[in-house]
Structure 1
């Protein structure tokens, strides 16, 4: 989950670049590499112990974690429980429950001409994994990838965002209390520290942040041919056609959009709505906002705040230049911890910034579209979104989005939920990211897939391919490896084409 600028800019000046060489990150990468290479981490008991220790860190210090996140991000305490601490604990528990199954070698069939032999795919730890986290979900997006890295038998370096200094300091203090320095190390700081960190060689990098910074991370990783998992952003659209109960749709949209004050990468960025559904949806959204946050959302204890002055100013700029009609909200108050009211804008100008960039705040544009064809065309015209939401009971509409668009994830009938389903990989596509994690996908992503084939010495069936190759042997090899006649699998297709 990311913002338009949730991670360090990673674009140092010449002076900063020179200073980077002088930065002492306090890292002992050799220690981490030794742990990853000496065979210790292959032991499932070791992996379970690390996951259990990480779980204890979250559970035993939940109050401190909640206070730090609330202070840094302005997130209500219950929201911290729902989207941060419990999310990490559930991920760890899911990994622990399936660890043996998901890490076991996978047997694959061997061609008849190679038998007797066996073949399997072994999942090996990659080594040292670097996790760079953003500020909007500062615990979940730091520790969930860490859980996957540990489950896969890796060691790790954590880099929390400098935008959340209390969380970063807490992580720096708590990690050594629960996880040995030979297993996990923490680096704090801003652009110079992150730039210096990226100059080091890692065996995998997991980065959550903006697309712009993702490119910088990928360029740095390329210097060492390091594989990356990039969880980036994008304008995740929703579609509403009025065939579902609009009161339910509105409550779900309001929940998905205004959780964490809209600072969620997979929050509905904007809604594509058909003409007949637009006005009823506006009224239902108005009722949902009041139901959730009362007649004066600024007084609600359940509405989060924008993280800082820079993000607040950016959102106010979007409100000032949208060119549409504000039908709900629109109020903002920088003095009140950067408050921005839940806001709905109908039909902003097509060239306005609110329709040109990821909003990442509590502003929801409604864009009128004629039908599902126009909606899917608009989705296809932009970059592939990280998430896509379809609110329709029409099977043809659902199918149009399923087959006619591409997105990192998709939920029909609700926002956000696909990220919480433990069996579903979470990741982007194109400019919204690459790679995926969560549950089994984390172990698959953060492991090397080694192919292993075993063939006994006797009988030595390979003698048939050893030189010399007299005519009879050449003929036999050709018949076995490249038979002249095979079943024509394309015959049915050819028959259809001939009839057409």
Structure 2
């Protein structure tokens, strides 16, 4: 599969191209050369490309929605609220705030370099590679693209081959709207991805499974290329005896079954306090039936599994579980890859459903005695998840669960919400990923803070002590500047005194300097 998309060369031949390496290399060279020329450095040039990106999506919104009906049977309404709304919000925020985000930042805190007026310059990495996923092929590719462009990089996008209708269309659209010196794309499968990873990039971002993340990180390490890994994991839900079970059931069902459970931050399994387990299961089934009435393979509100291999994986999981399948809302259909919402109870911690991320509409429910005390131990049996969901009306219970677990994010009394905000960083920890993006966090992820110091030549006479030949008098002078003695005693408080805090204050020294100048001028007059 060697389909290459770019501004001037778009081909929809899905057979392997004999010269895809040459075509990819040419695109890579073009982006590197363009970045080196400085065309992405001006803030206004970046904002213009972001505007083009916005209208690339807005002008083709209906066609993009329809492409995801073909790939995932997904409702156009679900595509709009889960993908398009956030894309628009991200681009708008970048255009509005880019000047502020990209501005140099003054540094204060070390008197030894204060005269050099240190600042941080927000510098782009260069030509960056973005590898997109199939489950949300618009939002999970276009937000990183927007962040990378806003930061002043050039971008090569390699979307998934598993959602061909949406990704082929997306490449075609972007190729017509964006400057080909700033943006290029490549469609293909493993050979194309492998070759792309062999090239030297300023940074690489991938959204995918933990296995894919390891492949990308290993390849990037050969060139010491920094990476952003947005992966996944088994995101647990903890429901305490103090939770509002009716609300919890509705919100968990929604978060679990949007996009047929094919969401990296979907609730993967439920740990519910034994006292509330039976009632929660009843409420959850009722909520699911209410949301998806008369559900079958032809229903428009419920997405389907992306391909036959993953549909059969769902079937196998249900066949092999030792738990009890207490609810399946519809009949699975192989021809359309429809797999209905399914609830499994009495699931053991070593069950097949607990081995890896489910990534589908199957919800294991585990009743746990005193779940607040015991949930963290059960959660720790898996790698750190991308999200932890807690349902409780007791803040103390929530605090305990937060303090005894690790996850990319925590959401209390709701699900998935954290993934749809411009103002909240999105990312994992450990095997669920590294790095974070959305809004300013995405801009920061695609820039590096470059310290710039400008030392005054007029201060040379005060720097004699640092030059050899050394002697004790010079050392004494340097010790005074370097604060050789600690600011705290061997025992007692580690907090600075009020006087030390004043002397460390930037405002104090500004007032002292300008106050001294004002006093000198008044005395002269």
- The Cα of 1:482 is off from its aligned counterpart by 4.1
Stretch moving more, 468-477 or 342-351: 468-477
Q: Report 1:37-436 matches (<5 A).
A: 37-109=36-108, 111-329=110-328, 331-371=330-370, 372-436=372-436
1:131-164 deviation line (CA, Å, top 9, x unaligned): 1011100111111100000010001001111111
Alpha-carbon shift at residue 303 of structure 1 (Å) = 1.0
Cα gap change, 1:458 to 1:89, in 2 (>3 Å): same
Describe the SS at the equivalent of 1:450: strand
User: How many corresponding residue pairs?
Assistant: 476
Q: Is the 8 A contact 1:27 1:185 kept in 2?
A: no
- Name the SS of the counterpart of 2:275 in structure 1: helix
Calculate the TM-score normalised by the size of structure 1.
Answer: 0.91
Give yes or no for contact 1:211–1:432 (8 Å, CA) kept in 2.
yes
Is residue 118–residue 453 contact of structure 1 (8 Å, CA) maintained in 2?
yes
Look up the match of 1:462: 463
Provide the secondary structure at the position in 2 that maps to 1:339. Answer: coil
The secondary structure found in structure 2 opposite 1:90 is helix
What is the distance in 1 between the residues matched to 2:201 and 2:108?
A: 34
Question: Counterpart of 2:380 in 1: which secondary structure?
Answer: helix
What's the CA shift for 1:485? 6.0
| 1:441-464 residue CA offsets vs partner (Å, 9 max, x unmatched) | 111111121111111111323223
| TM-score with structure 2 setting the length | 0.87
Deviation by residue 1:371-407 (Cα, 9 ceiling, x = unmatched): 2111111112321001110001112210112111110
The residue number in structure 2 matching 1:487 is 488
Query: Cα 1:335–1:474, aligned 2, differ >3 Å: closer, same or farther?
Result: closer
Compute the displacement of 1:493 (Å). Answer: 7.6
Is contact 1:131–1:205 with CA below 8 Å preserved after alignment? yes
- 1:220 match: secondary structure: helix
Structure-1 separation of matches of 2:486 and 2:358: 60
Task: Tell me the C-alpha RMSD between the 2 structures.
Answer: 1.9
Is the deviation greater in 470-479 or in 116-125? 470-479
Quick one: distance in 2 between partners of 1:433 and 1:256? 21
Gaps of 5+ in 1: 1-18, 495-500
Give 1:330 deviation, angstroms: 6.1
C-alpha displacement at 1:193, in angstroms? 1.0
CA distance in 2, matches of 1:485, 1:138: 54
Q: What pairs with 1:2-17 in structure 2 (closer than 5 Å)?
A: none
Q: What SS does the corresponding residue of 1:42 show, helix, strand or coil?
A: coil
Cα deviation, residue 22, structure 1:
5.7
Q: In terms of mean alpha carbon deviation, does 104-113 or 183-192 score higher? A: 104-113
Residue 99 of structure 2 aligns to a residue whose secondary structure is helix
In the alignment, is the contact (CA less than 8 A) between 1:133 and 1:207 conserved in 2? yes
Change (3 A) 1:493 1:368: farther
Structure number with the bigger relative contact order (C-alpha 8 A, sep ≥ 6) is 1
CA contact (8 A) 2:285 2:327 kept: yes
